[in-house]
A and B are shown apart, each in its own frame.
Chain A
Amino acid sequence: MKHVIATIGAAALAMALVLPGANAAEEEGEQHTVHYPLKKPVEQDWSFAGPFGKYDKGQLQRGFKVYANVCSACHSLKRVAFRDFHELGYSEEEVDAIAAGYDVEDGPNADGEMFTRPGLPTDYFPSPYENEEQAKVANNGAIPPDFSLIAKARGVERGFPLFVFDVFTQYAEGGPDYIYSLLTGYGEEPAEHVVVPDGLYYNPHFGSGVALAMAQPLYGDDVEYDDGTPATIEQEAKDVAAFLMWAAEPHMTERKEMGFRVMLFLIIFAAFLYLAKKQVWSRVDH
């Protein structure tokens, strides 16, 4: 082991000798490539973080209300079915009622025509637009992305050495942190050298530019929560981010619970294998 450390040290030294040259060469020709987002996401406390994390059903229900009342006007949630809402803590009747609150296109009927009917639990969330072209026209050429997987499809690169620490802290909430930060990141004045294109809205937390096509969607008190929680903009942003994490990874709680049992089993099994190995090898020098 000592040799290994010594040699790695030597390797690092060799690297260090080589690198200054590289730095010097770089200083002359460096151009300012700006990397987005301008500001890193603000990390939040999530009930579902860590090895024993669980979704907070109250929060998911609040988040759903934000999605239903605000986001769903433009953003679809096409991979989530109403039946999945049982996992949010709703009863059969409540799920039926939520589904029936949406019109769903079905058909063709006996006359060969499509018709709309109230939604059933088996239906998937209806999309606000008929097709991509309609979505494009309605939103100045920018298609509002589907929200089914948005919490897993967004994340800001952590960089060295954070990505090493993340393995041990189990940081996997980059998506919801990003969503929270974006939703609460409007309203700042851009720095002087930043040019905001016409028709876009400045947001330093946006992942692929200085500004995005979506205007500030949440201002606080956009919804009235059933459980009486004050609907501040921070609360709404956090709740909807949690809801979207659930939408993207509905089995997360189950996954972590099973993970604990599996880890426990594997560690005990490994311990017994170690004892057995010691027992077997006790017969021979090695």
Chain B
Amino acid sequence: MSTYEAHGTYTPTSGIGKWVDARMPLPRMMYDSFVAYPVPRNLNYAYTFGGILSFMLISQILTGVVLAMHYVASTGLAFTSVENIMRDVNHGWLLRYMHSNGASFFFVAVYLHMFRGMYYGSYKAPRELLWILGCIIYLLMMATGFMGYVLPWGQMSFWGATVITGFFTAFPVVGQPIQELLLGGYAVGDPTLNRFFSLHYLLPFMIAGVVILHVWALHVTGQTNPTGIEVKSKTDTVAFTPYATIKDAFAMMVFFVVFAYFVFYLPNYLGHPDNYIEANPLVTPAHIVPEWYFLPFYAMLRAITFNVGPIDSKLGGVLVMFGSIALLFIMPWLDTSKVRSAVYRPWYKLFFWIFVANAIFLGWLGSKPAEGVYTMMAQIATLYYFVFFLIILPVLGLIETPRRLPNSITEAVLERNRKSGAQQVASGTAASPETRG
């Protein structure tokens, strides 16, 4: 609570307001967190994805809760109940397409959010915990997305579940029991579907819980900004409301335009035709591919086609895949650079964009059949992924010469505006935003 009281400017005016404030200062907390909370004045649109993600989570929970009113988690009825939603439930097709495409757009936003964090060094001290909480959210999202994809009980649902729970069989001795524990049987079946439904319903609320911690941690350290310099004075910041809220709202609406475009015009573009065939444990589809947001990891899983000492290729692939995610957690300690933002790190910037291109390339490879030249390319791309974290990040921080950093956020803003021939004169420097206009 003390954090919120620290910059408390909340003064309830009404009698009821004072009464509540004395007993449970929730309005004060909300005011201090989402109205008075100071944010750097130079945040660009890359910083709007946090808000977008909050709304995507709410949207997914709401559509999910109403879909659960019609869904039946039984291998005999799951597919039919989804078709009932699509055909007969009022606006059921809309809610289901919002939910299935919403999952994809949730991941679009989270990837952009993560890349933004990597570009501007948001993971560095003192924000390591903030970053790790984000990684936990990402892991929970992956689990939720995977289990949600099983629920319609199409061919890809069934075989995706079979393949992904098969990861665990790679581990010697404990692998088989773990897989049986997850499935509740020897193959994907009714017990699996029921527990996946239960967990798919539970995990989003756990995500919401970690999101609260994530936002809490954020409000303790404050946001980073494109310069990577910490906030030094009051002129470096503006109030969250209205400045950040209106900007977030605009960015969100642009995001929703793209989202709506897919929901209404290309609702099955991001899905796979095979998932409109009811699950059949006796027929495997020709190409099993996960949802697009897992493709880079899927490519890395398949890239390991060789044994390394006692580790066979299956276990190797699984270790590489889990390792690729584990690296995200320790990223704050892998980067040795004192400078936060890529804006002032010319070499890091280059390797970062190669990393982004490499990740997209891995995603494309994950959608291709694992044969011939694709395997080779996946191996090279996987290598770069690991080299980026384990070699480039630590070494670059020691040898790179960063560009000159501005003294403060305010200085950086004014310098840029002067360069671009902005109309504003220095009158805005000292004056706090509220006193102008």
Contact = CB atoms under 8 A, between A and B. Distances in A.
Given A8-B357, A18-B380, A255-B93, A277 B264 contact: no
B57 interface: no
Interface string B259-281: 01101111111000110110000
A273 B265 contact: no
Contacts of B34: none
Contacts of B268: 152, 172
Instruction: Point out which of A29, A33, A170, A284 has the most chain B C-beta atoms below 10 A from its C-beta.
Output: A284
Residue of B97, B238, B253, B413 ringed by the most chain A CB atoms within 10 A: B253
Q: Interface residue tally of chain A, by bracket?
A: 35 or more
B428 interface: yes
B417 A285 contact: yes
Given A263-B257, A285-B413, A7 B267 contact: no
Interface stretch (B200-208, B211-219, B242-250): B242-250
Contact of B269 (A8, A166, A274, A281): A166
Contacts of A255: 93-94, 97, 264, 267
A29 to B, nearest CB: 7
A282 B417 contact: no
A10 B353 contact: yes
Interface string A163-175: 0001100101011
A270 interface: yes
A266 B260 contact: yes
A286 interface: yes
Interface in A227-283: 248, 250-251, 255-256, 258-260, 262-263, 266-267, 269-270, 273-274, 276-277, 280-283
Contacts of B256: 266
A149 to B, nearest CB: 4
Interface string A32-73: 010110000000000000010000000000000000000000
Contact of B428 (A160, A276, A277, A285): A285
A286 B93 contact: no
B20 interface: no
B310 interface: no
Interface of B: 41-42, 80, 83, 86-87, 93-94, 97, 238, 242-243, 246-247, 249-250, 253-254, 256-257, 260-261, 263-269, 273-274, 276-277, 286, 349-350, 352-354, 356-358, 361, 364, 369, 371-373, 376-377, 380, 413-414, 417, 422, 424, 428-429, 433-434, 436-437
28 contacts: A7-B350, A11-B354, A18-B380, A26-B373, A26-B376, A30-B373, A35-B369, A51-B265, A153-B276, A155-B273, A166-B269, A167-B266, A167-B269, A172-B266, A248-B276, A258-B264, A262-B260, A263-B257, A263-B261, A270-B253, A273-B253, A274-B250, A276-B250, A280-B246, A284-B428, A284-B433, A284-B436, A285-B422
Interface of A: 3-4, 7-8, 10-12, 14-15, 18-19, 22-23, 25-26, 29-31, 33, 35-36, 51, 79, 84, 145, 148-149, 152-155, 160, 166-167, 170, 172, 174-175, 208, 248, 250-251, 255-256, 258-260, 262-263, 266-267, 269-270, 273-274, 276-277, 280-286
Given A23-B373, A79-B80, A273-B250, 4 more contacts: A172-B268, A270-B253, A281-B243, A285-B422
